[in-house]
Structure 1
Amino acid sequence: MTLGRTRGVALRGVSGTVVEVECFIGQGLPAFEIGGLPDTALRQAAQRVRAAAAGMGESLNQRPVMVNLSPAAIPKQGTAYDVSIAVAALAANGVLRAEAAREVVHVAELGLDGRLRHVAGVLPAVLAARRAGHRHVVVAPDDVAEARLVEGLRVSTATTLEELVGAYRGLRGGDRLPEAADQALAPVVPGPGRDLADVSGQTEARLALELAAAGGHHLMLTGPPGSGKTMLAERLVTILPRLTADEALESLAVRSLVGEVPDGGLDVVPPFVAPHHSASVPALVGGGSPHVLPGALSRAHRGVLFLDEAAEFTQSALQSLRQPLESGRVVIARARQQVVFPARVQLVLAANPCPCGQAWGKGLGCRCRPTERRAYAARLSGPLVDRVDLQVDVPPVTLASLGEGAGESSAAVAARVREARSAQAARWREHGWRLNSDVPGQVLRRAPWRLPAEATAAVDRALDIGDLTVRGYDRVLRVAWTCADLRGRERPDRSDVGRALLHRTRGRAAA
């Protein structure tokens, strides 16, 4: 008995398991069976493989073909197994040597004409192959650049199945398939575009944006339409530090699952994702059936998730953010599997003060009834807002603001943000944290990091009278440390704590 064997990858979220693709061709009536919990698209691989093999003059229609995807207990989905099944079947049929492809991982779809086609999720699949100790992958020509983002792997490709099989048949001894032609993989950097200098006035909001970037804090902007809330949020990524290579790979692995990997190489700019307020819970946090896909929250991993018109999102969608914001990951449970997506983001909320947006200052132009205002404000109250560190009012832009000169550029602010983050990294490195927003509250409330009573008097009183929850108290302390880092101080003083408390409670009672 001759078995054809090669490798594929079963993805579960951004993690993957290398699958052994086994094929046995027996005697009897023609059939093509695929075992190992395949979904509908994978079961249809039989037709695609048969047609592609026939196109190169090899028939798989004469005898029963049995394919097993091991481990068989893991659900398998999608069309990325097509080429591995075809190679294993042709090896079992004696068209190529069984040993040649045994340890090679194949990730590509087959067309009926035998062409190798793009599949989503190539980057996490190749990362899974490397973690499992494999060093050779075959992908479609369109996916070579994406696969090359993973270092330490030999990446091969072919235009058609016939070309790939011909390359395998030409191997002698310990030869391997030729490596795909080099492609330029220069890091993607932002071109000229949005800059913080474009924002007129809004001094307090700009300072809050800098604080958010320096400490990794969540931010809420409240103000009337046209005051610049969206403009400010869009410029947060311009003052955030560029991603490291590992962080960029983490982010791109999620985006690869939905086909959002950019051409050219590693995208080192933090992602900015702004879903529409009509987004459903699965669109926001992930889900779907039968394929579980990442939502906007995970696609913004290592970047910014911006919810414009936040009060217009459904309550279920907003509440679904609470647990991922604390844990930094999304867990989606299904009957047969549990899928985990990373979701370490900075959340930025933008909201109007009322449904018509004119309840500002004296509110003379507001047409909303008091009950409507209260109901509108209640949409963003409670546990979600309690997780937002900085809550800032954004007033209307005045003629005097428009007459002011341009504010600081993104480059100037980004330099201060980098210095503040360096100070945080040095302070918390031995504890395993990078930013002030990562530090557990109990650490900041105990020696040696506890601040003196005179520095925390205001926030202690706010907690005593119920204006702050314990979570809010801890978040004020984190922001105070970020204020001190931006000022170049070793520890926060009373003014830093006061500023942090002001940003926490302005314009609304703390949750």
Structure 2
Amino acid sequence: MLAKTYGSAVYGVNAYLITIEVNVSKGTKYFMVGLPDNAVKESQQRIEAAIKYLGYKMPRQKIVINMAPADIRKEGAAYDLPIAMGIMAASGQISPDLLDQYVIMGELSLDGSLRPVKGVLPIAIEARRQGYKGFILPKINAKEAAIVNNLEVIGIESMQEAIDFLEGNSQIKPVESNTREVFFDTLNDYEADFEHVQGQENIKRALEIAAAGGHNVIMIGPPGAGKTMLAKRLPSILPPLTLHEALETTKIHSVAGKMPANSALISVRPFRSPHHTISDVALVGGGGIPQPGEISLSHHGVLFLDELPEFKRTVLEVLRQPLEERQVTISRAKLSVDFPANFMLIASMNPCPCGYYNHPEKECVCGPGVVQRYLNKVSGPLLDRIDLHVEVTPVSFDEMTAMRKSETSAGIRERVIKAREIQTDRFKDQKKIHSNAMMPPAMVKQLCSISPSGKTLLKTAMERLGLSARAYDRILKVSRTIADLAHSEEIKVEHLAEAIQYRSLDRENWAG
């Protein structure tokens, strides 16, 4: 007897329908075809144990399982449940009537209970697109799938519950989720706030400019100056995610298996801080079947690289193209996958190995040439792609113990949102440009015109600091953002001067 069930495979951030055909006929042995990986092949033992544990019979006949289309590789244990249901239907132990109405996914334990699976959101979106009535999956993943409307999401805890539901022996209420309610309830759930930061007003100003224009930042300062503390608070002043951005971000985290248990939606901007031992594949994504890396998990959020020179050079160099293109393409022999990577890069570093070069009080003990070699670990082309270079100095005792209140993240965020609204209006006719940092060179010339006195100032700075053409564009973009924060249509000399000062690593006194 032949039975069909339906599952799904995820490639990139999109899902594709998989038809699982099970034929039970005369003979012996168990055959599985259709490019299954080892985890799928090993499902035989899990399925047999679960079927027997629940009191059913594993057919002692020839079982052929075909996973179509056969030219797409299937990986992971999430196919256990649809294969098991196919075997049960093909052997006449359950009715096959409802199997063609549902996409089924779930990893089986030996006692028939279900473990969570990855990529639930894109699978639910594809199930609705293909016209399926519902999606049967582990209960722990149900909230995530339920944000897709017009689809019955049936959350179950065991294979027995799936059998009872498909046989009509029990009614399971579909899991429902009010997407907008979930989204708006958790929109401002940030643990860190700038009101807890004493002093460092110049760094707060730099981060406000970065947030307002979507600019990349590097902070240079001695150990304990507060670089990491400030970086962790950056997401709290970024504009709130839109619902579309939240769904996009949730899809990526779902595919990577990074969704928190029983959560439905990622509604706050992600903050990713990988360790400096990370590999280039883990950073940009990859693998046999490509998975998203840290830059994609930071999509619509912040990627923080602490102690930047400690990262391997090859790891840092692979960032250059995604920083420009806002996406990364992973190519393999049989497929090519695009992952979105529209993130803000914020990096921190000590000025030298001992950490005290240019320190106002402590003396640097690094030998001649050591500071330059340390800074050279970060390539010039990468630094050119970072708009703001900010020096972080230690906070004095008087500032730390001052009783005055610092401005809250909410206050800073209001100014950032107003500046972003100006940019939204400016780029309303552009599909792929949403902030000043995204402007291509041609648009920079058009939208960042400066006065003759501004040109003189910028020419002097370019000659003295030896800035590249890309750094020239960065200065103009940052000055445009500063003007937006001041609600000025023109880029004034003071806006340009402030933008130029955020090129610390281009100055002669840095390891000169």
C-alpha distance in 2 between matches for 1:437 and 1:132: 38
What is the CA deviation profile of residues 259-294 of structure 1, one whole-angstrom value per residue up to 9, with x for unaligned ones? Answer: 332344323211111112222222322234x55433
The amino acid that maps onto 1:233 is A
Match of 1:25 in 2: 24
- Quick one: which amino acid aligns to residue 207 of structure 1? R
In structure 2, the CA distance between the partners of 1:219 and 1:92, relative to structure 1 (3 Å rule), is: same
Distance of 1:61 and 1:505 partners within structure 2:
72
Q: Deviation at 1:466?
A: 7.7
The amino acid that maps onto 1:109 is E
Aligned AA for 2:304? F
How many Å separate the matches in 2 of 1:478 and 1:226? 31
Specify whether residues 153 and 451 from structure 1 end up closer, same or farther in structure 2 by C-alpha distance, changes over 3 A only.
Answer: farther
- Find the aligned partners of 1:378 and 1:506 in 2 and give their Cα distance: 11
Q: Distance in 1 between matches of 2:443 and 2:356?
A: 42
1:125 paired residue number: 123
Report the counterpart of residue 40 of structure 1 in structure 2.
38
Tell me the residue number matched to 1:180.
174
Aligned to 2:419: 420
RMSD: 2.5
The one of 317, 320, 325 equivalent to 1:319 is: 317
Rounded Cα–Cα distance in structure 1 between residues aligned with 2:48 and 2:142: 25
**Residue pairs, 1:213-252, within 5 angstroms:** 213-252=211-250
> Which secondary structure state, in structure 1, belongs to the residue aligned with residue 427 of structure 2?
helix
| 1:443-454 equivalences in 2 (<5 Å) | 443-446=443-446, 450-454=449-453
Structure 2 residue runs without a partner (length 5+): none
Asked if 1:55 corresponds to 2:49, the answer is no
Would you say how many aligned residue pairs link Structure 1 and Structure 2?
502
Match of 2:471 in 1: 472
| 1:505–1:353 Cα change, 3 Å | closer
Q: What does 1:217-366 correspond to in 2, within 5 Å?
A: 217-262=215-260, 263-288=262-287, 290=288, 292-361=290-359, 365-366=363-364
Q: List alignment gaps of at least 5 residues for structure 1.
A: none
Aligned twin of 1:372: 370
Distance 1:109 1:347 in 2: 37
Q: Deviations over 1:113-143 (max 9, x none)?
A: 2222211222232233334444511111111
**CA 1:499–1:134 in structure 2 vs 1: closer, same or farther (change >3 Å)?**
farther
- Deviation track 1:148-173 (CA, whole Å, cap 9, x = no partner) reads 122332101333222212221228xx
Q: Measure, in 1, the Cα distance between the counterparts of 2:64 and 2:497.
A: 71
Q: Which residue of 1 aligns with 2:428?
A: 429
User: Are 2:5 and 2:20, in contact at CA under 8 Å, matched by a contact in 1?
Assistant: yes
Range with greater deviation from structure 2 (413-422 or 161-170): 161-170
Contact 2:465-2:506 within 8 A present in 1 as well: no
**CA distance, structure 1, for counterparts of residue 32 and residue 334 of structure 2:** 19
User: Are the counterparts in 2 of residues 456 and 497 from structure 1 also a CA contact under 8 Å?
Assistant: no
Pairwise CA distance, 1:449: 5.7
The one-letter code sitting in structure 2 at the alignment partner of 1:486 is L
Could you say what secondary structure the match of 1:96 adopts? coil
Kindly provide the CA deviation profile for residues 459-501 of structure 1, in whole angstroms up to 9, marking residues without a partner as x.
3555577822222222222212111110011232232222222
Of the three residues 155, 162, 165, the one matched with 1:164 is: 162
- Measured in 2, the distance between the counterparts of 1:466 and 1:442 equals 24
What per-residue deviation string (whole Å, max 9, x for no partner) do you get for residues 408-439 of structure 1? 11111001011111111011111222211122
TM-superposed CA distance for 1:225, in Å, is: 1.1
Instruction: Give 3-state SS (helix, strand or coil) of 1:220's partner.
Output: strand
DSSP 3-state at the match of 1:68: strand
User: Equivalent residue of 1:445, what SS?
Assistant: helix
Q: Tell me: CA distance 1:184–1:422, structure 2 relative to 1, closer, same or farther (3 Å).
A: closer
Q: Which residue of 2 aligns with 1:212?
A: 210
Residue 107 of structure 1 corresponds to 105
SS of 2:77's equivalent in the other structure is coil
1:74 aligns with 2:68: no
Larger mean CA deviation between 324-333 and 351-360 belongs to: 324-333
2-side partners of 1:192 and 1:390: how far apart? 24
Give per-residue Cα distances to partners, 1:41-89, cap 9 Å, x unaligned: 0111222222323334433332111111111111111011111112222
Report the TM-score, using the length of structure 1 for normalisation: 0.91
Contact 1:184 1:264 in 2 (8 A): no
Aligned-pair identity (%): 37
* CA-CA distance at 1:362 after TM superposition: 6.3
Counterpart residue type for residue 480 of structure 2: W
Distance across 2 between alignment mates of 1:181 and 1:255: 21
Q: Is the 8 A contact 1:145 1:183 kept in 2?
A: yes
How many Å separate the matches in 1 of 2:490 and 2:129? 42
CA gap of 1:495–1:506, structure 2 versus 1, over 3 A, is farther
Write the deviation string for residues 315-336 of structure 1: whole angstroms up to 9, x where unpaired: 1111121111112223233333
Asked if structure 2 preserves the Cα contact closer than 8 Å seen for 1:392 and 1:507, the reply is: no
Distance 1:362 1:203, change over 3 A: closer
Q: Distance in 2 between matches of 1:246 and 1:134?
A: 23
- Pick from 383, 390, 394 the counterpart of residue 392 of structure 2: 394
